[in-house]
Amino acid sequence: MRKGGAGLRGAASASALLLPSSEDSGAGGEPSKECPILVAVRVRPRNEKELASGDPPCVRVLSRSHLCISKNEGVNQYLNSQRGRVNDYEFDVVFDETATQAEVYQRSTQPRVASVLDGYSLTVFAYGATGSGKTHSMFVLTLPLLLYCGTAQVYNDRLYDLLSPGDGAPLRIREDARRGVTEVAGLTRRRVSSAAEALECISEGNHNRRVGSTAHNSVSSRSHAILQVHVRSDGVQECSAVMSLVDLAGSERAGAAAKDRQRLTEASHINQSLLALGNCINALSGEGDAQCQAKYRDSKLTHLLKGSLEGHCSVVMIVAVAPCSGTYEDSHNALKYANRAKEIRVKSPSKRRVDVEM
């Protein structure tokens, strides 16, 4: 029987060039016993439309961990909510408009990738308003040892397979108490042997993902996408870990973003599932018994991510925000969401040894 991560690392020689050493990445072996969620915020550059309109920026990066967001006071504004204000926030990592994809990966996710090869699971969220750059930020990740990939979407609170759409029938969520995992029953998993093959799975999944035109984005994602990379060692008794990349659909005001009834229905389901995720975050950031009150079954998204938030894996949240005053409310709401997520305390992650059932 192989112990701990030795089985995974022993099988990972083919991916050694993809994964930096712990000396380079700063990731020293196993996660700490009380491992908080890492929250990173990325401010995207202004696009051509914003530059042409002259819309001034409202978000300013002050340092590698601080930023502020300001609201200008307009004319004849009398309510407190309409008055100008400046809010300062501190996060684990903050990226300004000049940050490269490699820099985002190296400072947010790379330090925790090494733990996957030691048998610990990792979940990475991308959150933000529609058009803030979430999906773009998710492609910063260089995956380590890749064995089995599966990708699904949560559309209108139903789960669908993105690699084998078939007849479009929704899938069920299954909880395995023996292994302590929550997974999608019948989800297609493809064996891959390189990062290029994994990227093909991502590309195919994105091609089958629901998108649509809204008032904010002509190609807006209308579903939450979840890519899962199952890492397993050889042998009868297995050391197993899962890397989950979660591209959340953009938070938005349904009435402002919707162009027709279908978009309004989609926006309603998106906001309901994000609210359920927010409620779970609020519960998990509480003390004592409050953490036991997280209602994962309020949405398919939170039900599927139950294991990711209960302490079976390390968690990274990358929050994307738009820089301009015209999107102040959406950007500020995303920052408040991220600020609350900082309080989550992920309890000691557990290594998983399970029999292969492929």
130 annotated ligand binder: yes
- Determine whether the annotation assigns residue 33 to a binding site: no
134 annotated binding-site participant: yes
Q: Which has the closest alpha carbon to 41: 63, 71, 72?
A: 63
- The encoded tokens of residue 20 equal 């930096």
Write the DSSP assignment of 4-24 as a string of letters.
Answer: TTHHHHHT-GGGTTTS--HHH
Per the annotation, does 188 bind a ligand?
no
Residue identified by tokens 């015209």 is 326
Angstrom distance (rounded) from CA 174 to CA 185: 6
133 is in an annotated binding site: yes
Contact 220, 262 (CB under 8 A): no
Cα(285)–Cα(94) distance, integer angstroms: 21
Residue 40's beta-bridge partner residues? 93, 318
214 is in an annotated binding site: no
Say which residues have a Cβ less than 8 Å from residue 274's Cβ, sequence separation at least 6: 248, 249, 251
128 is in an annotated binding site: yes
Pure H helices in 253-321? 254-257, 261-284, 300-304, 306-309
288 annotated binding-site participant: no
Q: Which amino acid is at 17?
A: L
Strand 38-43 to strand 93-95: parallel, antiparallel, or no bridges (unpaired)? parallel
SS3 state of residue 329? helix
Q: Please report, in range form, the residues annotated as the binding site.
A: 128-135
Q: Please report, in range form, the residues annotated as the binding site for ATP.
A: 128-135
